[in-house]
A and B are shown apart, each in its own frame.
Chain A
Amino acid sequence: MIKKKIVMLGSWGVGKTSLVRQFVENVFEDKYLSTLGVKVDTKQVQVDGKEIKLMLWDIAGAEDNFSVPMNYLKGAAGCLLVVDGTRKESLQTALELKTLVEKEIGALPFVVAANKSDLQWQLSNADLEDAFPKPTDRWFSTSAKTGQNVEALFQEMAERVNA
């Protein structure tokens, strides 16, 4: 079976862990506990009739002063950037991480989750369209709480890394 490493990147508290838990276990917990280091989960998805095992590397969030160590990204096939729609600054962090990834290991297929769609957002669709303007850029308005677009997000990621 084909295995693909997907790194989840974003500021702290944007919902990376919750997205993975919703996708893998169909579970959401309101209580927020920061991820320490990295947590790896797996799930199989089908793309064009083929089984692909996604290795989801849920990496502790980028902090204000110290970002994610780049050696965690080695071997990644794709990058899932997570933004918190209720915190505008998390979009800037995601863009900085994307730039850092491109500088350190080269361009990776990426998909953006604009998370917490069940809450009142600071971000607008226009902000996201400005940030990710290319026709190939793809972002999803997701909710780890309700499950909105979570399956679609990871399915898109699987298709990108399989292309």
Chain B
Amino acid sequence: MGQEIENMRIHFYGVQGSGSIFPSKEERAAARLQSDLQLLEQVFKRLQDEHSEDGQLKGSIRDVLGGEPERNSLTKFREQLELVEPRVYGGWTTCFRIETADDYDIVIDCGSGFRICAEDIMQKWGEKEERHLYIFGSHAHFDHTEGFDQAAICFDPRNHIHILANHQYLQALDQNLGIFSHHIDMEVGGIQTPLHYELMPANFDSTEIRDLERYPASAEDDPMVGTFHHINEPIVLGDTTIQPFEVFHPDPCLGFRIEHNGKVFVYCTDHELRKGDDEDHPLQIASREAEQRVIEHATDADVLYRDGQFLEIEYHGHQGINSPIGVSRKDWGHSCIEDVVAMAERCRVKQTYIGHHDPNRTWSERNWIDETLVRRSEQSGRLFEMAKAETVIDL
């Protein structure tokens, strides 16, 4: 972007849930058709403007184009047209980055989007001496950790990488790589990745975010944990305050409320607003309590990113995703798009990005849902979108 950061700049590197995707041949063809139709519409509109009353062109094609039809003149002609970028939802799994006005670099989750995210950070850092990256992990699942050892930032000994997450997230990184404990069990070494701490010369340290009132830290705690941080206390990095909170997912998972000079971004991936029949079921109660925490943190937020992997009809198993055969998604740990929209409206969130897209949802269907959300935004005066990779928001 190149412009100065006023408060914080949020980058979406990966918004894909469960697994990385690559657009199919049909999806690429559909995207191309959209672009081609848009281009042809603009070209013919232009030709219409250039014809006289008898329907003939006033000049030659060369006049319209401003030269012979070769690369330079075609490129210049194209630049004059008002073409809209096709929507790209991206194929990488979860990774977000926040740059702050006081020069902190914060990443949330290291899905496969982290590789490109780390490249951008390295490029920004150049040769500077202070090289600190703060990574907040939501939970240990693979689509939130898989990009970690693919990132160049882990291989430069000048870099200091501070990882703040729950026990499971730290463990997921450490058990295969040994980056905190400098130890890997023989049974797991080399199985998931050829890499380990001796091949990753950056400096890593860990902070476990834990409910220290319920689970106090003790001397026997795991050697992979450098320090502990109580979940109910905010983490302060310069002018930025990061408040973790627990959401509802099969693997313990954290959301984060990030505030800088009164601007608020709430990150809430992998949280299920459970729809069971029994309101007294322990999971139902836990989900409801977690939803209440999300509501408390998201009320009046400027930007909310929230998991909406399913439509309600898919959650209940009446309909499959890109398939007529439905499977119940209860207890899969993800929310419904309809619930996210209703919650964000109630909480007066200004901009809501719905992500953790199901890998089976086609590009065309994402667009269909997105266009409905555009219409919903017009009706409510609040922005709703299907989250798209490469989105950059300045707050």
Q: Chain A residues in contact with chain B, CB under 8 A?
A: 12-13, 32-40, 60-61, 63-69, 71-72, 74-75
Contacts and interface: CB of A to CB of B under 8 A. Distances in A.
Contacts of A69: 322, 362, 364-365, 368
A68 B368 contact: yes
Contacts of B6: none
B302 interface: no
B343 interface: no
B343 to A, nearest CB: 13
Given A65-B34, A72-B319, A74-B324, A34 B368 contact: no
Contact of A71 (B323, B338, B372, B379): B323
Interface residues of B, number: 25
Interface in B294-337: 311-313, 318-320, 322-324, 337
Contacts of A37: 311-313, 337-338, 369, 372
Contacts of B312: 37-39
A124 B368 CA distance: 30
Given A34-B376, A37-B311, A71-B322, A65 B371 contact: yes
Contact of A36 (B362, B365, B372): B372
B361 to A, nearest CB: 9
Contacts of A60: 368-369, 372
If over half of B's interface residues share one DSSP class (helix, strand or loop), that class is named, otherwise mixed; here it is helix
Given A12-B372, A38-B313, A40-B313, A33 B364 contact: no
Nearest to A13: B375
Contacts of B338: 36-37
A39 B311 CA distance: 10
* Nearest 7 A/B pairs, CB to CB: A74-B324, A37-B311, A63-B371, A66-B368, A66-B367, A34-B375, A38-B313
A66 B319 CA distance: 19
Nearest to A68: B368
A72 B365 CA distance: 11
Nearest to A31: B379
A126 B130 CA distance: 75
23 contacts: A12-B375, A13-B375, A34-B375, A34-B376, A36-B369, A37-B312, A37-B369, A37-B372, A38-B319, A39-B313, A63-B368, A64-B371, A65-B34, A65-B371, A66-B364, A66-B367, A66-B368, A67-B368, A69-B362, A69-B364, A71-B319, A74-B324, A75-B324
A36 B367 contact: no
A39 B362 CA distance: 20
Interface of B: 34, 311-313, 318-320, 322-324, 337-338, 341, 362, 364-365, 367-369, 371-373, 375-376, 379
Contacts of A74: 324
Contacts of A64: 371
A34 B372 CA distance: 7
B307 to A, nearest CB: 15
B341 A36 contact: yes
B368 A36 contact: no
Nearest to B376: A34
A75 B371 CA distance: 26
A35 B338 CA distance: 9
Contacts of B364: 66, 69
Contacts of A75: 324
A64 B38 CA distance: 13
A36 B337 contact: yes
Contacts of A12: 372, 375
Contacts of B311: 36-38
B347 to A, nearest CB: 17
Contact of B379 (A33, A65, A67): A33
B371 A40 contact: no
B192 to A, nearest CB: 35
Contacts of B313: 37-40
Given A12-B372, A34-B372, 4 more contacts: A35-B372, A37-B369, A39-B312, A63-B368
A74 B318 CA distance: 11
Nearest to A32: B379
A71 B365 CA distance: 10
Most buried by B among A40, A61, A63, A66: A66
